[in-house]
Amino acid sequence: MVTSCVSLLLLLVSASCTLVRLDKATAYCKGIDLREITIQVLHDHYLTSRLTVQRVTECYLNRIHALNPTLNAVISTNPNAYADAIELDLKMKRCKWGSLYGIPVLVKDNIAVDGMQTTAGTLFLRDIFPKKEAIVVQRLRKHGAIILGKTNLSELSGLLVSDAEDGFSFAGGQTKNPYNLTSDIFGSSSGSAAAVAANLAMGALGTDTLGSTISPSSTTALYGFKPSYHPTLNQEVVPLAKPLDTVGVISRTATDTAILAQAITSKPNIGRQHINLKRIRIAVLEDHFMNPYVKSHLKLIKKSLIRMKRIGVKIVNSTSFYIQPTYMYSVLRAAICEFGPQIQKYLKTGTSRLSSANPKIKNLKSIIHWYKNHQGSKNYTLEFLNPAFNCSSSQTFSLLKLKQEMQHNLTEFFTRNRYDAILVPSHPRASAYVAANVAGYPIINLPIGFIKDGSAVGVALYGPAESDSLLLNLARAFDSRAHSRRRPKFMN
């Protein structure tokens, strides 16, 4: 037992040292350090011809090839990335470029990208290709982004429960948290967060049903943003629960997150409008900060509230917006029940298959059968998939009703108390922002610092319907004061 523990410790130390060495070795691109670089700074280098899109793309792919074997953040790289970069360099000469010109971005591997597999972390979807590219990816390309590849995730966006941590998939392995290699990164957009935190890309797309973009952003010191729900934000995405599924964005600064959000939502002005911060009232839901998972974060949270006050907003202590446990059970059950009919429709109408694809993968029943016959090296249960197969038709249609109920209650809470936003801990196990997930309202994670073991800590802001611009503006004002992020050291 002692020998095995020592061996594991030595392995972890070796992995940490290797990552630190490779991080430094691949940091520079024509003498410019790409780590923590912002969109504005990279654009300045393009304008002065110090860098080309082709060279930057090559440098980021080199970082992925060097660091990813340990981090397991990326499932596959885009075979067309170099060709796309060459085309963008030609556009630069013709002065045709958008807000994301030459910006390297990764996409969660449940979102369709032309010419690439969309596995959702599974092995059985490897040779099944989406027929169309996701609208959000098309919008990134329209604004000039370079799609570097696809990121790892909790398999089937967390529907497969295994003895591994969040961020495990059979297609990509166990995603590691760059700040603490032994700490849970949470999910399901684990690879997107790990990749951006480790500077394998400047931004990434995640997806969010009940916290899957905000959770891993909070553990990796990133600005993760889930926009207001809109049906276009989940098209050509492997479904979990369509009435809640939303593509979100993850980046290292609030400004870059806003630029990415503007692109995928086709709302060029969100996060740009001037707001009078002195008129903003933010409710701090005190009950959530008593959660035992948040206890070690309280000192950092208090400092973040002081910074909030310094940007001019009014902080109001409030009793929590209470959600009955039975209601949340109903939401989870209804969301699971959405999966069966939606995955069958996706497989039937939204995909094309290579000859090597498994012809038996057609519906939820065949997926469950596949898992029962491919246990592999990880022990897992079908805790969520089995109930999804046994749903009644009445349960399948109840999620929209539950969503409307939450929208009504939250809107009434905001209006009655004249709150513009709500601030809660973003620790994934605190489940403090799930009300906004269910309602389809926007949420953003604000990184606020680090605890002793090197793990990142965040708080989440959420607002009423269509308050995306307000939240992004608040995040930018907070970021200008806080400067709470630092590069990961790949600690154990």
- In the three-class reduction of DSSP (H, G, I as helix; E, B as strand; rest coil), residue 253 is classed as coil
Among 76, 108, 176, 467, which one carries the catalytic annotation?
Answer: 108
126, 154, 346, 371 from 122: Cα distances, Å: 7, 10, 15, 10
| Residue 188 is among the residues annotated as catalytic for this protein | yes
CB 206 within 8 A of CB 111: no
What pairs with residue 248 in β-bridges? 206
Among 212, 228, 251, 398, which one carries the catalytic annotation?
Answer: 212
In the DSSP assignment, the letter for residue 237 is B
Residue 267: is it exposed, middle or buried by C-beta count within 10 angstroms (0-12/13-18/19+)?
middle
| Among 299, 303, 238, 297, residue whose Cα is nearest residue 432 | 297
Amino acid symbol at 12: L
The residue behind tokens 């691109």 is 29
| Residue 318 is among the residues annotated as catalytic for this protein | no
Q: Is 372 left (phi over 0), alpha (psi -120 to 50) or beta?
A: alpha
Among 16, 154, 157, 188, which one carries the catalytic annotation?
Answer: 188
- Terminal CA-to-CA distance of the chain, rounded, Å? 20
- In the three-class reduction of DSSP (H, G, I as helix; E, B as strand; rest coil), residue 22 is classed as helix
- In the three-class reduction of DSSP (H, G, I as helix; E, B as strand; rest coil), residue 10 is classed as helix
* Sign of torsion over alpha carbons 302, 305, 307, 310: negative
Amino acid symbol at 170: F
| Residue 212 is among the residues annotated as catalytic for this protein | yes
Non-local CB neighbours of 423 within 8 Å, separated by 6+ positions: 282, 283, 284, 285, 305, 308, 315, 459, 460, 461
Tokens matching residue 470: 């307000």
What amino acid positions are annotated as catalytic residues? 108, 188, 212
